[in-house]
Amino acid sequence: MSNQNNIQKNLEDYCCAIVNPDPEWPHGVHRAVECIRDHLFDPKLSVRWMKKQCHLNGNNFSGKFKYYVGMTPKQYWLDHRIKLAKKLIREDISITMIALGLGFNSLSAFTMLFKKYEGCSPTDYREEKC
């Protein structure tokens, strides 16, 4: 299996494994979680884009999302991207391919965020230096 196919399969498997939103959550939060799951690795994913796609209004949407989910929408999708990145980094796939496959706009954006979450670079993580 090629690296690109391997990444694609991992993306699909990961999205299928994400837990469904709690049925007790408000409809808007429920829709937002589903939208994030459906577009998790899309580079255009943003709170503004998601609100437009889900027909959500309100200035306090991120606060409401955080109240129910435990983190802001952006934290939610970045957390999922980093979790899958950690799995893929352990495989023999280029870090650039991983970054782009996970929806990051550049290797540097991915590296900076990965470092923020994990305390080390993706390369150091791969080499088990952290």
Share of the chain above pLDDT 90, in %: 68
Residue 130 has pLDDT above 90, yes or no: no
Structure letter (DSSP) for residue 22? P
Q: How confident is the model at residue 18 (pLDDT cuts 50, 70, 90)?
A: confident
Tokens of 97: 């391919």
pLDDT higher than threshold 80 for residue 1: no
Work out the average pLDDT over 4-14: 85
Give 19-57 pLDDT, tens digit per residue.
888 999 999 999 999 999 999 999 999 999 999 988 888
**Contact of 122 with 114, CB cutoff 8 Å:** yes
DSSP 68-90: HHSS-HHHHHHHHHHHHHHHHHT
Q: What global pTM score does this model have?
A: 0.91
- At 129, the pLDDT band (50, 70, 90 cuts) reads confident
- Per the structure, the count of domains in the chain is 1
Q: Do 71 and 79 form a contact (C-beta atoms < 8 A)?
A: yes
What CATH number does the domain containing 73 carry? Answer: 1.10.10.60
Residue 127 carries which DSSP code?
A: T
- The tens digit of pLDDT for each residue in 108-125 reads 999 999 999 999 999 999
* 44 contacts: CB under 8 Å, gap ≥ 6: none
Q: Which of these, 118, 125, 34, 108, lies nearest to 77 by C-alpha position?
A: 34
Mean pLDDT in residue range 73-86: 96
Q: Tell me which residue range forms the domain holding 48.
A: 3-126
